[in-house]
Amino acid sequence: MKNIIITGGAGFIGSHVVRLFVNKYSEYHIINVDVLTYAGNLENLSDIENAPNYTFERVDIVDAEAVDILFDTYKPEGVIHLAAESHVDRSIKDPLAFVRTNILGTVNLLNSFKRIHSDFEGKRFYHISTDEVYGTLGREGLFEETTSYDPNSPYSASKASSDHFVRAYGETYGIPYIVTNCSNNYGQNQFPEKLIPLFINNIVEEKPLPVYGDGQYTRDWLYVVDHARAIDLVYHEGKHGETYNIGGFNEWTNLDLIKVLCAQMDEKLNREKGSSLKLITYVKDRPGHDRRYAIDATKINTELGWAPSVSFEEGLAITIDWYLSNSDWLKNVTSGTYQDYYENMYAKR
C-alpha cells in the first residue's frame, strides 16, 4: 500500500481531495496532516474517518522536528500539499503567520521529503497554489503558466515564494514536483470568511452583505469538486516539473455574482424577490485589491483532458442547499472568535 500525505486535509479544498482519494484508491494509505486551525474541521471528513486506508495526524508543518518524525513514520511516496493560510484580509492583519505556514512550512516538507528518499523514482511532490501569485489583470487577457509572478498581497507573496521554493528544490535536489495554480473555489465546507458562504450565512440572518469598493472586482470561479478532480488527474498524469493552471473560464464581477446568489437565496427561503439585494452594503476597499483574475486552463484541458463538469449556477445551487441543510456545522464554525473577527473586518468599516 502506497503512503500518500495530504497536507491541509481537514480544510475546505483538502477535505474534498482526501475524500476523493480515500474512496477511489483502496491501494493508497492516505495520511491527512492538519494542525486544525480555525479553518480546519474534522467534521468535514466524518463520513470517511473509519476508512481502513485513512489516517489523521495532527501536525503543524511549521514544526520541522514534527514533520521529520511524520515522514520517518510513513515514508510517503507522494505529498499533495494544500496546507496554507489563505485569506487575503487575514494576511494584511498578520503577514508573519502567512510567512511561517506558507513558506517555512513548505520548506520543512521539502526538506523531509528530500531526506527520506535517496531515489526519487516513482515519487512526487505536488504543490497546490493560487492564481493570485500572478498579480492583477486589466480588462483583457488571461493568466497563463508562463505569466510572470507579480503578487500584491502578503498572502499572494507568501504563496509565490513557496512556489519558487518547490521549483528550486526540484532543480537543485532533483525532487520530482508539480505546481498547480487555481482560481477561486466555492462549494461545501468552505469557512464563512470567504465571499459565497459568508453571504449565504448573512442572508439567512438578514445581516449586511459587505461589498468592497464598487463591487466590480472580477474573479474566475470553480466548483471545489471539479478542483479535486483536477488534482487527482494532475497527481497521476501530470508531467514532472510542469505547472498547470486550473480554472473554469467562468468570470464574474463580485456584484453580478452577489445578484445571482441573492436571487437563488430569495427563492429558496421563500422571500420576496429582491429582498436580499437590499442587504448589500458598500464598505471601505481592501488595500492593494487586485482588480481582475482570470485563468487560461487550456494546457490542462488539452494535455490531460480535464474540464469543469459543473456549471456555476448548478454548483451555486448545490452549495446553497448544503449550507441551508447544515446549519449546525455553520453555527459550530462561526462561534467564539469568529464573531470578533467578523466585527473587526466588516462591521467597523
Q: What is the set of active-site residues?
A: 131-132, 155
Beta carbons of 175 and 169 less than 8 angstroms apart? yes
Name the nearest CA neighbour of 269 among 210, 221, 224, 323.
323
d(CA 348, CA 346): 6
Distances (CA, A) of 134 to 129, 151, 160, 311, 335: 11, 6, 8, 25, 35
**Set of cell numbers at residue 270:** 421563500
Where are the alpha helices (H) located in 27-94, listed in sequence order? 64-74, 88-93
CA neighbor of 250 nearest in space, from 260, 240, 235, 241: 260
Measure the CA–CA gap between 296 and 143, rounded to whole angstroms.
Answer: 6
SS (H, E, C) 98-155: HHHHHHHHHHHHHHHHHHHCCCCCCCEEEEEEEHHHHCCCCCCCCECCCCCCCCCCHH
| Distance (Å, whole) CA 212 – CA 284 | 6
Check residue 148 and give left, alpha or beta (phi > 0: left; psi -120 to 50: alpha). Answer: beta
Strand ranges for 275-346 from DSSP E: 280-283
